[in-house]
Structure 1
Amino acid sequence: MTDVAWHSVDPAPIVLIHGSEALVAARAVERLRALARQQDPDVSIHEITAEKAVPGALSQVASPSLFGEARLVLVPDLQSAPESLIAEISDYLPAPEAGVSLVLVHRGGARGKKLLDALKKAGVPRVAADPLKRPADKQTFVTAEFIRAGRRIQPDAAAALVDAFGTDLSELAAISRQLLEDTTPEEGEAPEAVTLAQVRELTAGRVETTAFAVADAAIAGREAGALVLLQQAQLAGADPVPLVAAIASKMRSLAKVSAPGASARTLGMPDWMLRNLSREARGWNDRALARAINAVAQADHEVKGAGRDPQWAVQRMITEICRARNGR
């Protein structure tokens, strides 16, 4: 079985989309539908759901046609398919019909494992629709959302969107659509790439966005600026827990790029992000990093119930990070 990225999968006689992330699976299906229509505007599209999977359902739509039209056959819930359909797909696997692309979507679980093993043995292209956890994968998702709409987004702008909304993929997709709508050019004007400034305007007040701005200032040793940004966030009602979590994420990334032999590939981040973090890391040594990370750990402990004043704990953390950076 050949693994293919959801944003680059192409139609094939049989394609398996396997994983629990529904939005990634949906994007892969949308891409296959669009490509099938590009290849043949008259393509016939059929869907066999678990409820409609009567015996012989696959043969009814995949058998050779008198007119030989192209067909895309989608099975959207293979994990719930009746045994009759699973058996029919197993029989179909060795000799797929010409002009037919069969797309199988399996959301996970043990049901249909024998068929999944047979698909793997046959070398069927497989799209892993797994939850996106790495920031780099989420940025790829954002970039693909803009490409689908015929638009572009600058890498740092995509990273900012992930920083602000990356905990929920559906929310990330929704805010990408909102940003596309808000930056639609006037009729006759050529669309430009969405910029970091436009993202920041949209995400103004978002806790994660504010926290990363605080972290950036603290990592640079700008104590006064970091404390002003922190005060603005606190006055706006920002919860100390996600503030500390976002700053902790930034400090962990800084520590990772400071490790010997760190590379974009080993860290799972884009080259440009590695370059930016490496530039920030030049002002740090191992002792200063350890001191700052200890300050973050202490603040995390206190804002989660161990301290009396969570806001003071966050302020002390920022001060300690800045002083570690400046060697004081």
Structure 2
Amino acid sequence: MSDVEWHSVALAPVVLVHGTEALIADRAVQRLRTLAKEADPSVAFHDLVGENAGAGALAQVTSPSLFGEPRFVIVPELQSAPDATVLELLDYIRSPEPDVTLVLVHRGGNRGKKLLDALKKAGVPRVDASPVKRAGDKQTFVAAEFARAERRIHPEAIAALVDAFGADLAELAAISRQLIEDTTPEQGQQAPQLSLQDVHAVTAGRVESTAFAVADAAIAGREQEALQLLQQAQLAGADPVPIVAAIASKMRSLAKASSPGASARTLGMPDWMLRNLTREARNWNDRSLARALEAVARADHEVKGAGRDPRSSVQRMVMEICRARRAR
């Protein structure tokens, strides 16, 4: 089995995407889907999940079609696939169909080890979607994001981005993409290397920075300040979804810092960040943290379509976090 990066994976009869980092796994699958569509627009896509993953389903979607179109078949939750599907896959990988791309996504755990071993023995390409935990690896990730966009960025600027947004890889990717878009020059002009000052200038006052300021005030129980900062962001037209995402990231970091034996190395965060979080975590307990995280989850659900007024949902979330902190 040969490991390949998500941005380099190519179409093959069988491809394994293995690991718990959803951002990398989703990117790999999307790249393969795009490549399949570019190779032949008539490609037929099939997802073997839920009721579509019963006995015989694999044989049905991989059998040659009357119209001869290629097929792209994905098993998105291999670790949860029925035993009948796993047995079919073990048989299939011995002699895959030539006009089929079979993508197997295993999101971690020990289930399906026999199939994983068989895939390794067969030498199928594997995308490693393991969590990116170390600060150095996250900096490498950011550097690659900018390199693919053909943009240059100073190492100090990369470190600043990881320090501020490195708790969640998806968020780190989003702020990197936003920074690239916001600093793209006019057509015909050459883009300069992004510096630490550029990062500060672009992120200062933006929704992500404002949201983290709201989160800091809410976690400290300063309700009036948190609501004022939130109002400023909303008046500036900030979208509720990234506000909730940033606050959720901060709350998750606080919860991680509260766990026994937490260290900067195991959590993949700078020492200064862990020190600040640990100091604040003394003002929380398991019950108050659970109450705050529940408020965040509810707001996230509502701002993504389940609620009628996303702005009010965010406001209620901030108030609930503050009150959970004070009710410790």
Q: How high is the TM-score relative to the length of structure 1?
A: 0.58
1:175 maps to 175
Which has the higher Rg, Structure 1 or Structure 2?
1
Counterpart AA for 1:17? V
Matches of 1:31 and 1:172, distance apart in 2: 20
Q: Deviations over 1:37-69 (max 9, x none)?
A: 232233222211134212211122211123332
Matches of 1:88 and 1:19, distance apart in 2: 22
State yes or no: 1:160 paired with 2:160. yes
State yes or no: 1:61 paired with 2:61. yes
1:143–1:152 Cα contact (<8 Å) kept: no
Instruction: Quote the offset at 1:168 in angstroms.
Output: 1.4
When residues 55 and 162 of structure 1 are mapped into structure 2, their CA distance, relative to the original with a 3 A threshold, is: same
Matches of 2:191 and 2:133, distance apart in 1: 29
Q: How high is the TM-score relative to the length of structure 2?
A: 0.58
2:74–2:104 Cα contact (<8 Å) kept: yes
Moved more, 153-162 or 122-131: 153-162
Instruction: Quote the offset at 1:152 in angstroms.
Output: 2.6
1:113 maps to 113
Q: Any gaps of 5 or more consecutive residues in structure 1?
A: 208-241, 246-251, 253-292, 307-328
2:20–2:131 Cα contact (<8 Å) kept: yes
Q: Deviations over 1:232-262 (max 9, x none)?
A: xxxxxxxxxx9xx9xxxxxx9xxxxxxxxxx
When residues 76 and 305 of structure 1 are mapped into structure 2, their CA distance, relative to the original with a 3 A threshold, is: closer
Instruction: Quote the offset at 1:133 in angstroms.
Output: 1.9
Instruction: Quote the offset at 1:101 in angstroms.
Output: 1.0
Instruction: Quote the offset at 1:144 in angstroms.
Output: 4.4
Q: Write the mapping of 1:154-233 to structure 2, written as runs, cut at 5 A.
A: 154-156=153-155, 157-185=157-185, 188-189=187-188, 192=191, 195-196=194-195, 197-204=197-204
Counterpart AA for 1:108? G
Counterpart AA for 1:152? R
Matches of 1:40 and 1:193, distance apart in 2: 38
Instruction: Quote the offset at 1:29 in angstroms.
Output: 1.0
State yes or no: 1:4 paired with 2:1. no
Q: Write the mapping of 1:265-304 to structure 2, written as runs, cut at 5 A.
A: none
* SS in structure 1 at match of 2:167: coil
Counterpart AA for 2:27? R
Percent identical residues: 59
RMSD, matched Cα: 3.6
2:31 maps to 31
Moved more, 173-182 or 111-120: 173-182
1:71 maps to 71
1:15 maps to 15
When residues 168 and 44 of structure 1 are mapped into structure 2, their CA distance, relative to the original with a 3 A threshold, is: same
Counterpart AA for 2:199? V
When residues 164 and 117 of structure 1 are mapped into structure 2, their CA distance, relative to the original with a 3 A threshold, is: same
Matches of 2:108 and 2:65, distance apart in 1: 33
Instruction: Quote the offset at 1:190 in angstroms.
Output: 5.7
Q: Any gaps of 5 or more consecutive residues in structure 2?
A: 211-253, 258-263, 265-270, 283-328
* SS in structure 1 at match of 2:53: coil
* SS in structure 1 at match of 2:50: coil
When residues 180 and 204 of structure 1 are mapped into structure 2, their CA distance, relative to the original with a 3 A threshold, is: same
2:146–2:153 Cα contact (<8 Å) kept: no
Counterpart AA for 1:111? R
1:135–1:162 Cα contact (<8 Å) kept: yes
Counterpart AA for 1:33? R
1:47 maps to 47
Matches of 1:31 and 1:147, distance apart in 2: 17
Matches of 2:12 and 2:281, distance apart in 1: 55
1:216 maps to none
* SS in structure 2 at match of 1:115: helix
Q: Write the mapping of 1:83-102 to structure 2, written as runs, cut at 5 A.
A: 83-102=83-102
Matches of 1:94 and 1:193, distance apart in 2: 51
When residues 96 and 200 of structure 1 are mapped into structure 2, their CA distance, relative to the original with a 3 A threshold, is: same
Counterpart AA for 1:192? A
Q: Write the mapping of 1:245-324 to structure 2, written as runs, cut at 5 A.
A: none
1:164–1:203 Cα contact (<8 Å) kept: no
* SS in structure 2 at match of 1:52: helix
Matches of 1:35 and 1:190, distance apart in 2: 31
Matches of 1:38 and 1:100, distance apart in 2: 15
* SS in structure 2 at match of 1:138: helix
1:48–1:76 Cα contact (<8 Å) kept: yes
When residues 146 and 62 of structure 1 are mapped into structure 2, their CA distance, relative to the original with a 3 A threshold, is: farther
